[in-house]
């Protein structure tokens, strides 16, 4: 979960150079009409790339989605923002289909969504990202945040240095007194301190206020958002009120429910993401470490209750998407070896070497080295109790090219993530490429499970569910 970055009370880097910083900020504020500006809105269209859901290690972001409409409104005194966005497009990786309409808001220490004709939905995990965008989404917001910042002359202009909520910020003002870019960092459970750069360019007059015609955001060196601005309004009537259900929201306690699949084999669920614990005689194998440290700690505690006095020696990672790998570091700190597809090792070693100053976790404090057991196409573990656990690569899978499944051949239990999440009410006529690839790989591997356990989903599934989802119900098993 991203942590809160309150704009109020921003800490300055130092008093030296404050006058110069104030002068540079005032010049830019005058050029961009910041004085007297309380609210601002702009409309745009463009492209968005989603982070953390890569198809391969060399491509950290997904294919492009079109931003058909982007309506952003900012209330600077309350640090509030409302973004009404319509995205369209699809991907062969099976993530998107059709059009999404998303309304995202933040005000002070609250973040929420407003689905159509539904009550507001709390989004505490996105609070920091939205607080960042609430001031960095416009050059005027950056200049308001930078009031009193330390300044230094650099080639081509002035650099303002300040902090927001503990995160260091650099804002660059060019020789025309226009804000060119802002640089900061944001915490990420997988990547640590992630560099964020927002660039503002192609300034022009929009109804009396100068504003960039193009806004480009990048994270970790990769572009994530391109916005071509079409309209800007200064001081529009705007009210961003935090709904009562959002103010009263208390995040639920982390719960771990269990379902016994076989002797010594347990499905650990109870949230959006699930794991499986396997007793191998003198040690335990944990299959999947999703989300974050809090989830992993809860799952480990429940596993110790179910299978006492045995260490978790291995943690198997099906694929490196951040929601399925965010808890791996917790297991590393506990002494487990990470089992993952061979292409992933270098990615994890690089990602885990990054600083974690904003959200230090147990591993960053202990400094323990990560140990890996890598799998190319297949691997096999055999426990002291004779239990066999196999790992197989889903060759050519469009969701992720390094996706592994875990197969217990004696018990005929298969664990998979993101392939089959829920039963379908009727056989699918035109299955997507992900489920088709999954089905074909199981046929190639001659795997016919009695129980299909998911990293997502409400229940354990069967081969009949897979047949229906893959459009093969008539073949039967």
Q: Top-level CATH class of 257-469?
A: alpha beta
Tell me the C-alpha distance between 87 and 376, whole Å: 36
**388 φ, ψ to 5°?**
-110, 135
Instruction: For residue 17, give Cα distances in angstroms to 148, 159, 161, 166, 226.
Output: 9, 11, 10, 20, 34
For position 90, what pLDDT does the model report?
56
Structure tokens at 411: 């018990």
> Which class in CATH covers the domain with range 18-247?
mainly beta
Structure tokens of 350?
A: 């690089």
Cα gap 475→459, rounded to integer Å: 23
Structure tokens at 455: 């990293």
Q: Are 182 and 176 in contact (CB under 8 A)?
A: no
DSSP code for 251: P
- 3-state SS assignment for residue 299: helix
**Contact by Cβ (8 Å): 52, 321:** yes
Residue 55: its pLDDT value, please? 82
From the CA atom positions of the chain, what is the Rg in Å?
25
What's the pLDDT score for residue 2?
A: 47
**Which tokens go with 406?**
């875990």
Sorted by sequence, the CB contacts under 8 Å of residue 100 that are 6+ apart come out as 86, 87, 88
Question: What letters, b where the CB count within 10 A reaches 16 and e where it falls short, cover 188-215?
Answer: bbbbbbbebbbbbeebeebeebbbbbeb
CATH 2.50.20 domain residues, the chain: 18-247
Which residues are CB-contacts of 446 (< 8 A; sequence separation ≥ 6)? none
For 283-315, give the secondary structure using H, E and C.
CEEEECCCCCHHHHHHHHHHHHHHCCCCCEEEE
CATH 3.60.15.10 in the chain, residues? 257-469
Residue pair 403/301 in contact (Cβ under 8 Å)? The answer is no
Handedness of CA 19, 21, 27, 31 (dihedral sign): negative
Backbone angles phi, psi at 178, to 5 degrees: -110, 140
Chain centre distance of CA 123: 13
| Residue 19 burial (10 A CB sphere; 0-12, 13-18, 19+) | exposed
Q: Is the dihedral of CA 219, 221, 225, 230 positive or negative?
A: positive
- Residue 477: what pLDDT? 56
- pTM, two decimal places: 0.90
242-254: burial string, b at 16+ Cβ within 10 Å, e else? bbeebeebeeeeb
Question: In terms of Cα–Cα distance, which of 140, 158, 145 is closest to 211?
Answer: 140
Q: How far is CA 104 from the centre of its chain?
A: 16
The closest alpha carbon to 305, from 339, 258, 348, 344, belongs to: 258
Which runs of E-coded beta strand occur in 165-290? 167-174, 179-188, 192-206, 209-219, 222-234, 257-262, 265-269, 275-279, 284-287
In tens digits, what is the pLDDT along the chain, a chain of 477 residues? 444 444 433 433 333 344 555 687 889 999 999 999 999 999 999 999 877 777 887 765 666 889 999 999 999 999 999 999 999 875 545 555 678 999 999 999 999 999 988 999 999 999 999 999 999 999 999 999 998 899 999 999 999 999 998 899 999 999 999 999 999 999 999 999 999 999 999 999 999 999 999 999 999 888 999 999 999 999 999 999 999 999 999 999 999 999 999 999 999 999 899 999 999 999 999 999 999 999 999 999 999 999 999 999 999 999 999 999 999 999 999 999 999 999 999 999 999 999 999 999 999 999 999 999 999 999 999 999 999 999 999 999 999 999 999 999 999 999 999 999 999 888 899 999 999 999 999 999 999 999 999 999 999 999 999 999 999 876 655
pLDDT computed for residue 22 by the predictor: 61
């Amino acid at each position: 979960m991203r942590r809160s970055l309150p704009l109020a009370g921003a800490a300055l880097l130092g008093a030296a150079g404050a006058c110069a910083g104030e002068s540079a900020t005032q010049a830019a504020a005058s050029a961009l009409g910041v004085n007297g500006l309380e609210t601002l809105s702009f409309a745009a269209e463009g492209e968005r790339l989603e982070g953390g859901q890569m198809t391969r290690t060399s491509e950290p972001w997904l294919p492009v989605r079109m931003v058909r409409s982007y309506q952003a409104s900012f209330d600077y005194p309350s640090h509030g923002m409302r973004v009404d966005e319509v995205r369209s497009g699809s991907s062969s990786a099976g993530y998107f289909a059709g059009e999404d309409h998303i309304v995202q808001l933040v005000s002070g220490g609250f973040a929420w969504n407003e689905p159509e004709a539904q009550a507001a939905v709390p989004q505490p995990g996105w609070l920091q990202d939205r607080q960042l965008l609430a001031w960095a989404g416009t050059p005027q917001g950056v200049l308001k945040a930078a009031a009193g910042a330390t300044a230094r002359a650099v080639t081509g202009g002035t650099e303002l240095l300040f902090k927001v909520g503990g995160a260091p910020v650099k804002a660059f003002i060019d020789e025309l007194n226009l804000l060119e870019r802002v640089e900061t960092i944001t915490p990420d459970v997988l990547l640590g301190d992630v560099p964020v750069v927002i660039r503002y360019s192609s300034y022009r007059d929009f109804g009396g206020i100068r504003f960039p015609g193009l806004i480009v955001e990048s994270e970790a060196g990769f572009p994530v958002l391109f916005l071509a601005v079409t309209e800007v309004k200064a001081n529009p009537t705007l009210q961003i009120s935090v709904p009562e259900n959002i103010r009263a929201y208390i995040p639920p306690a982390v719960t771990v429910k269990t379902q016994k699949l076989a002797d010594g084999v347990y499905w650990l669920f109870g949230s959006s993401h699930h794991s499986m614990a396997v007793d191998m005689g003198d040690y335990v194998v944990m299959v999947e470490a999703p989300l974050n440290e809090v989830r992993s700690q809860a799952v480990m505690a429940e596993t110790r209750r179910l299978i006492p006095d045995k260490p978790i020696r291995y943690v198997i990672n099906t694929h490196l998407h951040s929601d399925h790998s965010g808890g791996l570091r917790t297991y590393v700190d506990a002494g487990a070896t990470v089992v993952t597809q061979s292409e992933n090792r270098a990615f994890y070693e690089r990602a885990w070497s990054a600083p974690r100053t904003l959200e230090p976790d147990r591993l960053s404090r202990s400094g323990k080295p990560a140990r890996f057991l890598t799998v190319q196409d297949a691997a096999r573990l055999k426990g002291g109790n004779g239990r066999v656990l196999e790992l197989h690569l889903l060759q050519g899978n469009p969701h992720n090219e390094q996706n592994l499944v875990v197969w217990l051949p004696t018990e005929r239990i298969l664990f998979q993530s993101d392939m089959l999440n829920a039963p379908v009410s009727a056989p699918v006529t035109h299955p997507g490429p992900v489920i088709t690839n999954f089905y074909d790989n199981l046929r190639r591997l001659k795997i016919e499970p009695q129980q299909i356990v998911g990293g997502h989903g409400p229940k354990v599934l069967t081969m009949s569910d897979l047949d229906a989802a893959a459009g093969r119900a008539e073949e039967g098993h």
